[in-house]
Amino acid sequence: MAMKQVACSAIKAVTNSGSSSLLTRQLHASPGSKKIVGVFYKANEYFTKNPNFVGCVEGALGLRQWLESKGHQYIVTDDKDGADCELDKHIPDLHVLISTPFHPAYVTAERIKKAKNLQLLLTAGIGSDHVDLKAAAEAGLTVAEVTGSNVVSVAEDELMRILILVRNFLPGYHQVITGDWNVAGIAYRAYDLEGKTVGTIGAGRIGKLLLQRLKPFNCNLLYHDRVKIDPELEKQTGAKFEEDLDAMLPKCDIIVVNTPLTEKTRGMFNKDRIAKMKKGVLIVNNARGAIMDTQAVADACSSGHIAGYSGDVWFPQPAPKDHPWRYMPNQAMTPHISGTTIDAQLRYAAGVKDMLERYFKGEEFPAQNYIVKEGELAPQYR
C-alpha cells in the first residue's frame, strides 16, 4: 500500500511540475480523439510481482485509464519489428508514438513517411536515437524525451559495473554456482579502484553524477566533452578536462562511455581507436551499443587488449542470439536495464503523462525535453 502511495505521489508531482505557467506555442494538437501507440517490453509473469511495474506492456506507463477516460485510443504492444508486426498496422493512422530505449521502436524514414497523422514522438526515458531524427525534423514532427528521468539509475549502474570489472567479480560468482572454489582464478586479475584513472567520454547529466560518485574512491578522474563542466563541480570532484579524446584514452585504466549516439559518434570506437587505449583497459558502456564497432570490441576482448567490457546497450535491441558480445571473454553484459529501475519507471511515466497533457492543451514542453522542435535538432544530436 505504501509503495502504491509513493507511485501516485511521484507521478502527481512530476505531472504538476511547471504546469501552472502559461505556454503559448501550439503543438499542432487538433481537437478530438487521438490514437496513441506505446511500444514497451513485455513483463509476462513478472508484472504481478510489483504494483509499480509500469514501464512494460501490461503496465502501459499507468496511462490507460486516464487516456481512455478522455476519449483517446491507446494501443500498447511489444511487437515492433518485421513486415507484419503489430506496430506497422497502426503506423498509418497513429497521432502519437511512445517508445523506450529499453525496447526501442525503430522509427525509420520509411515509417515516418507512412505515418500521415503522426505529430509527436515521445521517448519514455532518455535517448531518442531510435528515431531517424533528420527525417522527423524534415516532416515537422516533435520529438521529446523525459530528460533527467533515469540519470541517477544509469550513473549508479555504471559505478556498479566498474566495480564488477575491477574486482573480477563474475568469475567468483560463477565458481559459486558451479560448485568450484579457486581463489587464484579470481585474485590474479582483481584490483582496487582507488588510484586508478577513470575517464568518462561525455560529462552531461549522467557523466557528472558518475564523477561525483567516483570521488570518494580516490580515483584520478578525467572527462572529455564538447564543453567544460562547471568550475565548482570540477573542483568538487577533482576531474580534469581532456580536450583531445585520443590523448585521453591511453591515460585511462577505465573508460566509461556517456555520449549520445549521433552520426558523429556512431562507430567511433573502431579498431584504430581501441588500439590507442591502454592494454588491459576496462570499458563500461551504458550509452548506446552502436557507438562501438561490435566486432572490434569482441576481437579486443579476445586478444586481451580490452581486459573487461560491461554495459547494457546493444545494437540492435533486443540483441540477436548470435551477437558476438554474448560470447566474448571477460564481459559483464546484461539486457538494457540500467535506466528502467522501478524508481526510473515512475519518473518517466510521470514525465510522459505531463507531456501528453501539454500536447492535448497545445502547450510547450519543458525546454530540455525537446530533441526535435520546429525542424531543429537539439545541440547534442547535431
Q: Exposure string (b/e) for 315-345, b if CB count within 10 Å is 16 or more? A: bebebeeebbbeebebbbbeebebbbbbebb
Closest by CA to 37, choosing from 83, 84, 92, is: 92
Q: Could you say which of 72, 130, 205, 288 is catalytic?
A: 288
Rounded to whole angstroms, the Cα distance separating 106 from 123 reads 12
Rounded to whole angstroms, the Cα distance separating 222 from 239 reads 5
Q: Could you say which of 90, 336, 347, 358 is catalytic?
A: 336
∠ CA 152-157-158, rounded to 5°: 100
Rounded to whole angstroms, the Cα distance separating 146 from 331 reads 30
Rounded to whole angstroms, the Cα distance separating 206 from 172 reads 29
Cβ atoms of residues 255 and 162 within 8 Å: no
Q: Could you say which of 52, 150, 258, 286 is catalytic?
A: 150
∠ CA 328-266-122, rounded to 5°: 105
150 classed as catalytic: yes
317 classed as catalytic: yes
Q: Could you say which of 52, 317, 331, 345 is catalytic?
A: 317
> Could you give the residue numbers annotated as active site?
150, 288, 317, 336
